[in-house]
Structure 1
Amino acid sequence: MKQDSAFVRRLREIFDGASMAEIARRLELPHATIRNYFGGRLPSSDVLIRIAETTGVSINWLLTGKGPVYLSEAKEIDIDSLIDRKIEEAIGRRLSAVGEVKTPASNAVNEESPDQFDVEAALENFRDPNRIMSEWFRFEGRKYPKDFGVVFFAGWESYTEREKLDAIRDAKKVLDRNLLHGGK
């Protein structure tokens, strides 16, 4: 593999000229691995992420020398909005693929008072997010679209009670919006 001396210069720069042993210690990697990087080998994506997290530098800058050096210089992204948009797109595609029928507006939850259904009591009684969603839809006289909870409830067991309530309410809002607008 061709030696990338520019990468090595940037690596030295972000660690303030520290020794290979010190860099290995800070990254919690074997010294031999760091020696390989100084010898011209490029790190795997996992190690690049670790370097970026440890130092705050941009992976793009680390690899190419272009763009802002530090992540704080980069334009901030509203990750919550991005994730919501991607989930809505995925659900819309899924609903379109299964031919889900558009929900009449009269059955939709009023966005101003989405808690007509007692989410807290349902969480206490059922503990299962898909069961809670199913009960909420049943409460409204609708059928819960199967297999959509997986997107919203990954890591459910690690959520706090507040996060579980928020996840259920957010999932319901996204599903209502997509069902109301036919997945568009």
Structure 2
Amino acid sequence: MGRLRIWMLVAVVVAMLLMVFLIVDLAGVPLVTDPRPVLGTVSVAAAAIGVGLLVADAVLPVPSSVVMVALGATFGLAAGAALALLGGLGGFAVGYVLGWRSRKLLVTGTTRPAGLVRRWGLLAVVVSRPLPLVAETVAYTAGALGMRPVATFAAAAAGTAGPAVAFSYAGWRGATAGDGFVVFGAVAVATLLCWVLGRSLMD
């Protein structure tokens, strides 16, 4: 029953995210659909908007890879990656807290969720960070399952750092939109390899 409740929670989260994403996409909000024009100048406002968009990615369909590339192009490799990492962790924190507040939806007193968390929880957090929709769902679920905050946020930082550096580097080197898709593909392949390696080490 505990496992059933977990999957029900995941299904509800995915359905809600897809609904919000669809509404925002149909509304065509410029700042969300194409934030590059407001991230093109080196300023505190642009940095705050970039980080804020990545935080909002927890509940809105923000093109996070585009934001990270733009941050790298505007602020350079190091600063762009740092801002991308800060925003990515902020987005994870939003999802985790929302999940934590809904943790009573899960069955208490069962060892199944605890066993699933001990076996795959942190690895799932690490490898999910670059993946749209999956990242948000895992963040919510991690909070709902009551995963330890310090370890969970360390895993989120580890999973966010790679994409932050990769996309920032692409922007710093003057990547085009097409190049960004190539970088995303490379990050996705690296994520898959990490998942396979992690599972093999844990088995």
Identify the TM-score tier after normalising by the shorter chain: under 0.3
Superposition TM-score, scaled by structure 2 size: 0.24
Bigger fraction of residues in helix: 2
Q: What TM-score do you get using the length of structure 1 for normalisation?
A: 0.26
Which structure: larger Rg? 1
